[in-house]
Structures are given as C-alpha cells and as structure tokens.
C-alpha cells in the first residue's frame, strides 16, 4: 500500500519572530503573487528534509531556521535546520516539545547515519547501493537517497515541463528507475544484491583473466616444462643432493682420521720449538755475559792506561817542587825549609810521600786483573759460541720438522680440499636448480589456482545471471502493477483532457510517459502546457495507483509548484487548468473518504483558476500570501513586486 | 805487643797507598790539563775561562763524545788521536753524564797546583785566565814524548784547531751528545 507521509506543519523563524503554517487538509493551495514566498515555503520544506533548496536572497537574508513537523506512517517527527546551513546537519526534534534529540548529517561521513537514511528507513525503502551502470555491470555502486524520492514527491516549478523525477540527469535517472522498481516491487533488495554480486564477479573475472594471461606468458617465456617432468627432476635433484652430502660428510670424517698419524709430528714440533726457545735464551744470556765481561775488561785496560799515564806524569810533574803557594800564589823560595818537610805548609812529610813511589804495584795488580778477565772472557765467549751453535742447530731442526709436517699435510689435505670444493660447487648448483624447480612449481600452481578461480567466478556469474533472469521473469505481478499504472496514467490523461493527445502510455523499460510516440523532453515542442499536464497526470497516476494497490509503496504525498505557469491564459488553457484542479480535488476528496489512507496534496500557484460552472473550489484549503505584511517571511515587510528577484541561489552545503 | 806493631804497619801501608793514590790522581789530572792549556796558550790569551776549560777537558776525559756532537762538518779525531776500543766499551761511559758540570772547584785545585809549580801563569788584568809558562811548555813537551800522553797532546791540539768556540756553544753541543752517547754505547755494551 502507499506509504503515508504527511507534512503537519512548517514553522519559519526569523531573528525576531516565527510563523507556523499548518496543513491539516488533503489539499492545500498556497496562493499568492509572484515573489510572495509560496514557492520558497516549499523549498524550505525540502531544505528541512536535507535537500538542496533554491532559496531566494530574501529568504537567505531573513529566515534563520525552519522546523518541519512530519508524519511518516505512524511515526511523528520534527526536523529542524538552519537557514542557510553551513554545518550540513539536520536536527531531529521531539515532535511535541521540539527539544533536540539527535543531529544527523546531510552528507554521509565515514558511513555514519544521515538524515536521508533515517527518512528512507521510516518509509521502509531499503538503503541500497545500486550499480552505477545498467549494462556491463561492475562493482561500482551509488546509494539511493531520500532526495531521489523527493524528486517524485515534489514537482518543482523549473522541472514541471522539463524532467520527471530528475530523469534527464544520468545518476538521478538510475536512482529514479531503481526507486520506481522498488516501489512497484519490480526490484527488491535481493535482486539488487544479485546485480551487485554480478558486478563484483564481472570485475573479478576481468582481473583473473588478466592474471591468468600474465602467468601464462611467464610460463611460456620461461619455457616451463609440464608439472610431471618438474616433479621427476625435483626427485632426482634431491637424490643427488643427499648423495653429495654423504660424500662430503665422509671426506670430513676421513681428514679427521689422518690427523692421528700427524699427532707424533706435532708433538715433535712442539718439543723442537720449546728446545729451540730454551737454547736461544741461553745463547742470548751468554752473549750478554760476554758483553758485560768485555765492558769490565775495557775499563780495566783504561785504568791500566791511566796508571801508566799517572806514572809518567808523576815522574815529570811530581818532581817539581811548589815554588808558589797554590792558595795565595805568593813565592815560597825565600824561606828556609827543613829536610823532609812540606815546602808549602812546613810540616814534616807524611810517611807515604816519603816512601818510594809504588806505582808498579798498582799497575801489576791491574795487569793481573786484566789477564784474569781476559781468561774469563775467553771462557764466556766459548760458552756463548757453543750456545749460539746449539740454538742455530735447534732452529734448523725445528725448520726441518716444520717442512716435514707441511709436506705431509700438503700431500694429504690438498686433494681433499680440491674434492671438497668440487662437491660443494655441485651442492650449490643443485640447490639453485632446486630453487628454480620450486619456482616453476609455484608458477604452475598459481596458474592452476587462477584458472580454477576464473572458472568458479564464471560459473558463479552464470548462476547469478540466471537467478536475476529468473527473478525478473517471475515478477509478473509486478509487471501487472506497472500495467495498472499505465492504465491509471491513461485515465488521468483523458480525465485532464490533455489537448492533442492521440496515444499515451508508460514505457515498460524506463517507466516514463510516451505521448504520440514522443518522450517527455520532446513534449515541450507541443507547448509547455502539454508537458505540464502530462507531468501532473503522471504524478496523480502514481498516487492513485498506489492508493488502490497495497503492494505499491509510493508515498501518498505530492507537492506541485505553479502548474498554471506554463499553461497560459487562453480560454482553452484556462479550461485545462480547471480540469487539473478538478482532478486534484476529486482525488483529494476520494482520499478523504478513506481516512486510513491519508493523502496530502500541496499546490503552490499565483491564483486558483476560475472554478467552472458545475464546480467550486470549496474543498481547497488556501493559504494566501501577499505583499507587505502578508508575505511568507514573518515580521518582514514585503516591498512589493518591484523588489522581487527571480534569481535563486543554491545553499553551498546542501546535498545532492 | 806484636799485634799493635802489625796494625801500625798495616795502617802505615794503607796511608802510604792512599797518599800515593791521591798523588797519582793529582798529577794525572794536572798533566792532562797542562797539555790542554799549552795547546790553547798564545802569547797573551789562553782558555779565557774555567768554564771553557772544563768543557774542553770533558772531551779529553771521554773522547768518544766527539762523534755524537752535532758540529758542522762532523769532524772526527785524527788517526793519531783516534779513540781506542777500551775507551768506547769501558763502564765509565755510563757515568759520563754525572761527570759533566761546572766542576770549577776541582779545577781550582789543579790550576793552583800548576800555578804553584810555575808551569802556568795568570794573564795580567784577567782573573782565572791562565797561559803556559816556558817551564810548562817544557814539561808538556816532555810528557808528550812519552807514548802514554802523545794521544792526549794530539787531541788537545786538535781541539784548539777545530773546536776553538765559546763555552756556551760547547755546552749546547755537549749536553745532547752525552745523552746520545750513553744511549748508543751502552746499547752496544749490553
């Protein structure tokens, strides 16, 4: 059944005051001259639901806040939003106290719930993401928003003879179509999920195909053999590796065994080295002793020379008597000196001086010492020479032993080393080959894995596509609903009596009207009035078919801005306007008799057309606007038509 | 008291030996210094100062020092005055450093003795500068005639010809040379 959605009231705030517009009748007309604010009120309504609203400079300058009281199904809620709204948030208020309960963003940030999400949830329209492209589905998707639904519910003045629910814009058109299918049960969450899955699988398949091609190229370029020969070679390589390892182990064990026979030699070399060291030390010590002895001998020889020199000096200089005092340098010759007395101090000579010189004694003693020292030196020298000889011999022996052990080691170790090196080389080569084989195996396995995945993905996609077809095919009921919509549309067209229409129907592919074989965009050529009338017929057909069929979930709410604008003022035009209004009244009255199915129609127009003779506009609840104090914005004096600007500005942060 | 007599005789002999040693030591130094003074004596000027005398005498006492002195042209002793192996290897070399210095007091004794024997005389008007007398020259000639002193006389004359330089300059050359000699010759001896 249609979803019940009603605007109970809208409260417009300026800095100084506020005004509440209440809508408690099925059909409400906002009547007023150009620029008095009737369209702006509808725009503020849209603004309050988080939509991008075209607000006039007067509204942007004076209105600061708007509160919308809504009823969606059995839920009442109040939405408040700043005007303009730089923060991009809509407040959800308690519907009775108007206390702020929640603040929801207009635009989704990090997946947080938006005002659109909340409203769609209340209308039980799934917040699905739909694939962006109908054909060649991919993983790219876009979310359906409440404002996409709003395009159905709010026929703006600029769109009335131009676009149906934004069908002229690609992204909006995808959402429009998806919403239509939801509301008519032509589509459901499962189908969307299936289509999304199809898109995902298509993307996967493309990626897998690219990877499979890349790996295949690699395998071909590397001339990779089949898996069977690879496995065979791997087994052989492993066997050879094991054999080489055993051989290497044997070699190591063998070289350790030969060590025992060399042990004796090593012991000998140790002993020879110790011996050589001892003898060398002994020789050095003896050489030191010889040097010390030589030094003593030299000193003795020098002393001996000095004794001889003293002997000569004594003979020559000692014979000379002092003739001058060595202290005061005065002459000593002119005084008598007794025999055996000092010529200087006149004391008796001591016995030492009186005695005969005994220099020979000293020299003889020194000579004896020299002779003894020479003998000792000779003995020391001989011992030192012997020690040096022994040390030299020991060194030669040590050298010989070393050469012997070198030779033995060389003879035994060299071939061993060559063999080890060769085996190690083979070992490394085999290991490298094993690495290559593993690489090939990996590449082959990767290739197999990718092929499997590709096949699975292709099979899955086939199944999913079949499922999608099946599901769509089984939607005969849904198609019957579209047929009913088509009938309702044709009925509205005929009731309204759109001039010049021979053939009109709803196309089953895009759910858009065709009139005389033309699409909606081309109808303007027949005059804006025709397009407007077709658009109104389309909207009314949607509502009536929804009211009749429980399965169609189109909300029972419609706002139309200025239907008469494009229609004109000729008598036939006026009649068309009259018929439109009659249709609105009829539908509203019919809905009013069924209180459970509340319908709400909001029409904004400059004035109501003259009622035809057989009817009156009594059931239209009219809210009239004027200039001066009667304008929509409360507490602000409207200066009149000369101040009206048609230019509108878009709120920067509003969503779409 | 045979013991007392023996002790007296021993004492007398020791006194005599000591006196002889002192006398021999004294004349040994007097002879060497006399040869040096004679070599440097002109008619009016001699060795100029005791410091210069003592530094030149150091070269006579330790002749190997010459080869370690950093003198322009690196002069060496002439063949007749060359060092003998005993001079190079004697243990005395190790004490050369401690025997270099202003030993002017000792020289005062030596100079005094030479003056007392009128082998040298003071230069008039100058203190502590002496030149040889004719008696001193005669004694030096007699000493040099003995082979034991020929080498010393040749060395003194060589010093007069090659190293007639100031006391301060001699000091500058000798001090590092002593260190080098001790290091080098003691290493040789070891």
Q: Which residues of A touch B (CB under 8 A)?
A: 288, 291-292, 294-299, 301-302, 305-314, 316-318, 320-327, 329, 344, 350-353, 355, 357-359, 362
Chain A residues whose beta carbon lies within 8 Å of the beta carbon of residue B25: 310
Are A355 and B112 in contact (CB < 8 Å)?
A: no
Element (H, E) at A463: helix A359-473
Distance of residue B101 Cα from the nearest chain A Cα, in angstroms: 22
Distance of residue B185 Cα from the nearest chain A Cα, in angstroms: 10
| B27 vs A472 pLDDT, higher one | B27
Tell me what the mean pLDDT of segment B100-126 comes to. Answer: 84
Tell me what the mean pLDDT of segment A630-637 comes to. Answer: 81
| A621 vs A188 pLDDT, higher one | A621
Distance of residue B50 Cα from the nearest chain A Cα, in angstroms: 16
Reported as a pLDDT band with limits 50, 70 and 90, residue A552 is confident
Chain B residues whose beta carbon lies within 8 Å of the beta carbon of residue A326: 109, 112-113, 115-116
The mean predicted confidence, pLDDT, of chain A is 83
Is A179 within 8 Å of A476 (Cβ atoms)? no
Query: Cα(A281)–Cα(A297) distance, rounded to whole angstroms?
Result: 24
Reported as a pLDDT band with limits 50, 70 and 90, residue A260 is low
Q: Does B139 touch chain A (CB under 8 A)?
A: yes
Are A344 and B19 in contact (CB < 8 Å)?
A: no
Residue of A352, A358, A373 to mutate for B, most B C-beta atoms under 10 A: A352
Least confident of A223-227, B10-14, B100-104: B100-104
Query: Cα(A610)–Cα(A72) distance, rounded to whole angstroms?
Result: 34
Closest C-alpha among A640, A653, A537 to residue A35 = A640
ipTM of this predicted structure: 0.90
Least confident of A210-214, A293-297, B54-58, B109-113: A210-214
Q: What is the pLDDT of residue B39?
A: 94
Provide the phi-psi class of A256: left if phi over 0, else alpha when psi is between -120 and 50, else beta.
alpha
Are B115 and A326 in contact (CB < 8 Å)?
A: yes
Q: Does B87 touch chain A (CB under 8 A)?
A: yes
| A323 vs A143 pLDDT, higher one | A323
Q: What are all long-range contacts of B142-148, with beta carbons under 8 Å and residues at least 24 apart?
A: B142/A316, B143/A312, B143/A313, B143/A316, B143/A317, B143/B31, B143/B34, B143/B35, B144/B35, B146/A312, B146/A316, B148/A305, B148/A308, B148/A309, B148/A311, B148/A312
Q: Does B152 touch chain A (CB under 8 A)?
A: yes
Q: Residue B143 is nearest to which of A299, A302, A313, comparing CB atoms?
A: A313
Chain A residues whose beta carbon lies within 8 Å of the beta carbon of residue B85: 298
Provide the phi-psi class of A340: left if phi over 0, else alpha when psi is between -120 and 50, else beta.
left
Chain A residues whose beta carbon lies within 8 Å of the beta carbon of residue B86: 297-299, 301-302, 305
Interfacial B residues in 89-118 facing A (CB < 8 Å): 89-92, 109, 112-113, 115-118
Tokens found for residue B19: 């006196």
Q: What is the pLDDT of residue B146?
A: 92
Say if residue A647's pLDDT is above 50. no
Is A129 within 8 Å of A142 (Cβ atoms)? yes
Are B28 and A344 in contact (CB < 8 Å)?
A: no
User: A482-494 pLDDT, tens per residue?
Assistant: 899 999 999 999 9
Q: What is the pLDDT of residue A653?
A: 40
């Amino acid at each position: 059944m249609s979803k019940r959605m009603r605007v109970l009231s809208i409260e417009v705030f300026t800095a100084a005051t506020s005004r509440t517009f209440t809508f408690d009748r099925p059909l409400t007309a906002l009547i007023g001259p150009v620029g008095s604010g009737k369209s702006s009120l509808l725009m503020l309504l849209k603004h309050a639901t988080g939509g991008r609203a075209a607000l006039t400079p007067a509204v942007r300058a004076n209105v600061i806040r708007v509160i919308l009281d809504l009823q969606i199904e059995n839920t009442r809620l109040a939405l408040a939003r700043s005007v303009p709204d730089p923060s991009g948030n809509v407040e959800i208020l308690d519907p009775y106290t108007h206390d702020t309960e929640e603040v929801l963003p207009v635009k989704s940030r990090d997946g947080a719930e938006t005002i659109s999400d909340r409203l769609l949830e209340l209308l039980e329209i799934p917040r699905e993401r739909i694939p962006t492209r109908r054909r060649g589905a991919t993983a790219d998707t876009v979310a359906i928003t409440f404002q996409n639904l709003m395009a159905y519910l709010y026929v703006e003045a600029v769109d009335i003879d131009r676009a149906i629910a934004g069908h002229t814009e690609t992204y909006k058109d995808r959402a429009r179509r998806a919403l239509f299918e939801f509301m008519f049960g032509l589509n459901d969450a499962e189908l969307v999920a299936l289509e999304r899955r199809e898109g995902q699988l298509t993307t996967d398949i493309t990626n897998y195909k690219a990877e499979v091609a890349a790996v295949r190229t690699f395998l071909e370029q590397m001339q990779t053999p089949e898996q069977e020969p690879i496995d065979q070679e791997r087994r052989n390589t492993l066997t050879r590796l094991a054999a080489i390892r055993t051989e290497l182990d044997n070699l190591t064990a063998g070289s350790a065994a030969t060590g025992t026979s060399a042990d004796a030699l090593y012991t000998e070399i140790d002993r020879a080295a110790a011996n050589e060291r001892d003898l060398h030390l002994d020789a050095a010590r003896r050489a030191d002793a010889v040097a010390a002895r030589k030094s003593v001998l030299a000193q003795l020889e020098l002393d001996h020379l000095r004794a001889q020199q003293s002997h000569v000096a004594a003979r020559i200089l000692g014979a000379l008597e002092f003739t001058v005092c060595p202290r005061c340098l005065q002459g000593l010759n002119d005084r008598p000196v007794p025999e055996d007395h000092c010529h200087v101090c006149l004391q008796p000579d001591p016995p030492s001086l009186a005695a005969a010189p005994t220099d020979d004694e000293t020299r003889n003693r020194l000579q004896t010492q020299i002779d003894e020292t020479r003998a000792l030196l000779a003995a020391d020298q001989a011992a030192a020479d012997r020690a040096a000889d022994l040390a030299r011999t020991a060194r030669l022996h040590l050298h010989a032993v070393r050469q012997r052990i070198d030779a033995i080691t060389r003879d035994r170790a060299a071939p061993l080393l060559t063999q080890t090196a060769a085996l190690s080389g083979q070992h490394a080569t085999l290991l490298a080959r094993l690495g290559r084989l593993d690489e090939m195996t990996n590449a082959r396995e990767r290739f197999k894995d990718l092929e499997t995945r590709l096949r699975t993905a292709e099979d899955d996609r086939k199944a999913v596509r079949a499922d999608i077809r099946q599901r769509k095919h089984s939607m005969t009921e849904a198609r019957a609903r579209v047929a009913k919509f088509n009938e309702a549309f044709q009925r509205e067209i005929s009731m309204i009596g759109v001039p010049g229409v021979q053939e009109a129907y709803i196309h089953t592919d895009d759910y858009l009207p065709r009139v005389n074989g033309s699409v909606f965009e081309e109808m303007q050529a027949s005059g804006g009035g025709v397009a407007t009338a077709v658009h109104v017929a389309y909207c009314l057909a949607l509502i009536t078919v929804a009211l009749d069929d429980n399965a169609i979930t189109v909300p029972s709410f419609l706002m139309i801005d200025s239907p008469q604008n494009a229609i004109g003022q000729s008598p036939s035009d006026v009649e068309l306007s009259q018929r439109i209004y009659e249709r609105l009244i009829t539908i509203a009255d019919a809905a009013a008799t069924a209180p459970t199915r509340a319908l709400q129609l909001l029409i904004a127009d400059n004035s109501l057309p003259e009622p035809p003779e057989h009817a009156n506009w009594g059931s239209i609840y009219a809210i009239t606007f004027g200039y001066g104090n009667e304008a929509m914005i409360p507490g602000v004096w409207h200066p009149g038509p000369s101040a009206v600007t048609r230019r509108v500005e878009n709120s920067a942060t509003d969503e779409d | 008291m045979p013991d007392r007599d023996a002790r007296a005789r021993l004492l007398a002999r020791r006194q005599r030996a000591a006196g002889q040693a002192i006398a021999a030591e004294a004349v040994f130094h007097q002879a060497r210094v006399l040869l040096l003074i004679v070599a440097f004596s002109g008619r009016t000027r001699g060795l100029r100062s005791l410091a210069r005398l003592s530094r030149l005498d150091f070269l006579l006492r330790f002749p190997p020092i010459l080869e370690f002195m950093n003198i322009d042209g690196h002069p060496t002793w002439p063949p007749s005055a060359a060092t003998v192996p005993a001079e190079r290897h004697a243990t005395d070399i190790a004490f050369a450093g401690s025997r270099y210095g202003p030993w002017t007091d000792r020289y005062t004794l030596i100079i005094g003795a030479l003056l007392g024997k009128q082998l040298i005389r003071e230069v008039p008007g100058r203190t502590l500068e002496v030149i040889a007398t004719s008696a001193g020259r005669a004694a030096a000639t007699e000493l040099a005639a003995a082979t034991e002193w020929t080498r010393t006389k040749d060395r003194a004359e060589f010093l007069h010809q090659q190293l007639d330089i100031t006391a301060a300059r001699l000091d500058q050359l000798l001090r590092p040379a002593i260190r080098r000699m001790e290091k080098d010759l003691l290493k040789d001896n070891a």
